[in-house]
Amino acid sequence: MPELPEVETVRRGLIPVLQGAVIESAEARRPDLRWPLPDNFAERLAGRRVEAIGRRAKYLLADLDGGEVMILHLGMSGSIRIEGGAVKGRPGRFHHPRGAGGPHDHVVLHLAGGATVTFNDPRRFGAILIVPYDQIMSHPLLAGLGPEPLGNGFNAEYLARACARRHTSLKAALLDQKLVAGLGNIYVCEALFRAGLSPRRLAHTIATAEGAPTQRAERLVVAIRDVLREAIHAGGSSLRDHRQVNGELGYFQHTFKVYDREGKPCQTLHCKDTIKRIVQNGRSTFYCPTCQR
- Cβ neighbours around 237 below 10 Å, total: 29
2, 5, 91, 199: the active-site residue = 2
Question: How many Å from the N-terminal Cα to the C-terminal Cα in the chain?
Answer: 28
Marked catalytic residue, from 24, 240, 283, 289? 283
Rounded Cα distance between 100 and 93, Å, is 15
Quote the DSSP letter at residue 246. Answer: T
**Is 34 tagged catalytic?**
no
In the set 58, 81, 171, 261, the catalytic residue is: 58
Residue 73 is assigned to a ligand binding site: no
283 is catalytic: yes
> Among residues 3, 6, 8, 248, which one is catalytic?
3
2 as an active site residue: the answer is: yes
Contacts of 115 by beta carbon, 8 Å cutoff, 6+ apart: 17, 21, 82, 83, 84, 85, 86, 87
149 included as an active-site residue? no
SS3 content of the chain, % helix, strand, coil (to 5): 25, 25, 50
Q: 3-state class of 152 per DSSP?
A: coil
Is residue 123 annotated as involved in ligand binding? yes
Q: Residues forming the annotated binding site?
A: 104, 123, 166
Catalytic residues: 2-3, 58, 283
Q: Residues forming the annotated binding site for DNA?
A: 104, 123, 166
